[in-house]
Amino acid sequence: MERITVLGAGSWGTALAIVLAENGHDTLLWTHRQNQADEINNQHTNKKYLPDTTLPANLVATANLAEAAQHATTIVVAVPTKAIREVCGNLAQLRQEKALFVHVSKGIEPDTLLRISELMRESLGTDLIEDIVVLSGPSHAEEVVLQHPTTVTAACENIAAAEKVQDMFMNGYLRVYTSEDVTGVEIGGALKNVIALAAGITDGLTYGDNAKAALITRGLAEITRLGVKMGGNPFTFAGLTGMGDLIVTCTSVHSRNWRAGNMLGKGLPLEEVLEQMGMVVEGIRTTKAAHQLAQKYDVAMPITAALYDVLFSDKTPKEAVDELMIRMKKPEIDEFQ
């Protein structure tokens, strides 16, 4: 049994805390809201994020970050990308000993262009970090809490740390693989949200299945082009954290990114979409970061560029799709150039 803290009591942090508590670990779930900690401890629910789920009685919550920092030898970071710098920075003030960190967030910090593990190293400082393992793959919280069969990958350059995390999370409904390709896993997980927004848009435009298959496939091509140039293993992008997560996010009604894209495709303005969602839509900020990465690494990412124009330059979704279709002719396979 491990002592584990999960930081962030949204849908994914809560679902993973349930898995860990059910696996017999001494699990403490940190939220920045006292009323949510009280609800979890007293009613064993988290109605805002997982309305139909009863949490196990042995899952305890706290709103005290110092208590959360002291509790564990393993710390799972499950807040959205935009909160990681602040939460890890605060945590670093409250803990002296090293911990094994696991992160499950799917994003890239705009402007700095740091991947999540890089962002954590910068905000935690190296003295606190035993290892950082990224846990990623096709895994909607809504299905994990129903114990529907789900597969994810734990990635770390130190494979022993990835195997330790594999053991912590794995059970009869959550199968965990390992990988050493942190860059490939983090890039695949972050960028699939960009393509899922685009897939939601074409569904909102009622363009049907051909368009969605094209987005998934050509989206994977541009994610792979960038990811390989950043040092990722090309095979990672064909795996769970690449193609697998792209499929689930582009096709599932659970996906926040697909749902937000769908509303945009139906003509709702971005501000209204975000207001209606009430949960994190990582793909919006990641589109900005991915567009910057494409320029930095000189990689063609036409779908990302088109989405960037829709989100940040007032191009209509229909104009963006029309322009994608009449781009210069080219062969399909370009060997990641």
Ligand X SMILES: NC(=O)C1=CN([C@@H]2O[C@H](COP(=O)(O)OP(=O)(O)OC[C@H]3O[C@@H](n4cnc5c(N)ncnc54)[C@H](OP(=O)(O)O)[C@@H]3O)[C@@H](O)[C@H]2O)C=CC1
Ligand Y SMILES: O=C(CO)COP(=O)(O)O
Binding-site residues from annotation: 11-12, 32-33, 49, 106, 137, 139, 141, 192, 245, 255-257, 280, 282
Is position 106 an interface residue for ligand X (rule: CB under 6 A)? yes
Nearer residue to ligand Y within complex by CB, 91 or 197: 197
Are the beta carbons of 196 and 190 closer than 8 angstroms?
A: no
DSSP string, 140-161: -HHHHTTT--EEEEEE-SSHHH
CA–CA gap between residue 259 and residue 263 (Å, rounded): 6
- Sole binder of ligand X in the list 91, 102, 104, 108 (CB under 6 A): 104
Count of residues in contact with ligand X, rule CB under 6 A? 27
Cα–Cα distance, 79 to 318 (Å, whole number): 33
**Residue from 21, 19, 12 nearest 41 by CA:** 21
Q: Does 196 bind ligand Y (CB under 6 A)?
A: yes
First to last CA, the chain: 47
Give yes or no for residue 138 binding ligand Y (CB under 6 A).
yes
| Residue 138 contact partner, candidates ligand X, ligand Y, none, CB within 5 to 8 A by sort of partner | ligand Y
Going along 63-124, which residue ranges are E strands?
A: 74-77, 99-103
- Residue 8's binding partner among ligand X, ligand Y, none (Cβ under 5 to 8 angstroms by kind) is ligand X
In the shown chain, the binding pattern of residues 44 to 83 toward ligand X, with x for contact by CB under 6 A and - for none, equals: -----x----------------------------xxxx-x
Q: Which of 132, 133, 7, 161 is nearest to 69 (CA)?
A: 7
315 counts as catalytic: no
By CB under 6 A, residue 249 contacts ligand Y: yes
Coil, strand or helix: which one is 74? Answer: strand
Chain-centre distance for alpha carbon 162? 18
Residue 105 interface partner, choices ligand X, ligand Y, none, CB cut-off 5-8 Å depending on type: ligand X
- Which residues in this chain contact ligand X in the complex, by CB under 6 A? 8-13, 31-33, 49, 78-81, 83, 86-87, 104-107, 139-141, 279-280, 282
- Which residues in this chain contact ligand Y in the complex, by CB under 6 A? 106, 138-140, 193, 196, 245, 248-249, 254-257, 282
Q: Which residues are catalytic?
A: 192
